[in-house]
Structure 1
Amino acid sequence: MITPAYCQTMARYNAWQNKGLRDMIAEMDRDALYLDRGAFFGSIMGTLNHLLWGDTIWISRFDGGQGPDPSIKDSVDFTPTPAVWAGERFKMDARIKLWAERVSAIDLVGELSWHSGAMNRDFTRPIALCVMQLFNHQTHHRGQVHAMLTAMGQRPNDTDLPFMPEDF
């Protein structure tokens, strides 16, 4: 279904896209970042926090490391400030890249079982599908952030995979 090369490419893509967002967020007005814009998680920061929270849950299922404590309803407040978010986002992107560099084809075979607090039930799904969910979830919510930024007159970086710099 997927390969280690897919994981590595998507981990690089994730880091590239989030670098662009970190750079933009650092320059933006705090009120603009927290304004409820009608997105599923409200604001730009609410959406970015939810995405970081989701990445933390998924990667902890893959690498066995620390996962988040708060529930999905608390995910919009996962970090207290844009600066803290930027630091945590940088570390999470490095964690995802490190996992992707180490993953082997056999690691992507089999099933993963977990309890979903959001759905309040247990799940078992193919590991490869869960890995695709990690990267799909990122793209989905970054797309929402991209739309919110564009609507407010900002110009986010290009999002096309073929234009990803080689150094990511």
Structure 2
Amino acid sequence: MKLCEHAVLMAGYNRWMNDKIYAAAARLPHEALSEDRGAFFGSVLGTLNHLLAADLIWLHRFASYHPTRFEALDPIRNIAPPTAIDQQLHDRLAPLQVQRSELDARIEDWAGCLTDADLDQVLVYANTKGVVSHRDFGGLLMHFFNHQTHHRGQVTTLLTQAGVDVGATDLLLLLPQHAPD
């Protein structure tokens, strides 16, 4: 599988998992979602906010600094990104879920437009502390999707501890079966 195809697969996995996690989280009251459970970002709601903030920060970098200037990311480029990875964008699940769903659709559209030439670029960007980096865009893309998976795993654990089962989460479930030779 080529890296561009992998990006499309991961964008679909991202949406599928976010839909599952938000459906599971909706079964809990607000107090349980905002309870500090000792995770990196405290609560289920804090971790979901972190995921959204980090995705917006990365997508803004991709939209603003990549030479292709991806048209699918125009709406991202035209808004100010979050200023911190722990920024609380929403204090309630419903508006967070709406923005997450809209962003996931944009990620899928964008991933479908990526080319091998896009992935072979070096992206020059500054992090939220102003530290400048020069990194392979293909590697940054893999980090982008891996980061989502990492923190969704934390959310899955937090939900399980709160008594809510998210269900199967394996990427394997989205891989197509091939007919035997």
State the TM-score, normalized to the length of structure 1: 0.90
Contact 2:53 2:86 in 1 (8 A): no
**Correspondence for 2:149:** 139
Could you give the per-residue CA deviations for residues 121-168 of structure 1, whole angstroms, max 9, x where no partner exists? 1111000111011101101100110111111221012111121387xx
Equivalenced residues, count:
164
Deviates further, 8-17 or 65-74: 65-74
**Correspondence for 2:4:** 4
Structure richer in helix, relative to its length: 1
Root-mean-square deviation (CA, aligned residues, Å) is 1.9
**Correspondence for 1:17:** 17
| CA drift at 1:74 | 4.4
Could you give the per-residue CA deviations for residues 56-90 of structure 1, whole angstroms, max 9, x where no partner exists? 11122223433554322542x11231100000010
1:87 aligns with 2:88: no
**Correspondence for 1:113:** 124
2:89 aligned residue (78, 93, 98): 78
1:124 aligns with 2:100: no
Paired with 2:152 and 2:111, the residues of 1 have a C-alpha distance of 20
**Correspondence for 1:152:** 162
Could you give the per-residue CA deviations for residues 24-60 of structure 1, whole angstroms, max 9, x where no partner exists? 2222200000000000100000000000111111122
**Correspondence for 2:50:** 50
Q: Which runs of 4+ in 1 moved over 6 A?
A: none
Q: Which amino acid aligns with 2:94?
A: A
Paired with 1:109 and 1:154, the residues of 2 have a C-alpha distance of 42
Determine what percentage of the aligned residue pairs are the same residue.
38
Q: Which runs of 5+ in 1 are unaligned?
A: none
Paired with 2:81 and 2:113, the residues of 1 have a C-alpha distance of 26
Which structure would you say has the larger Rg? 2
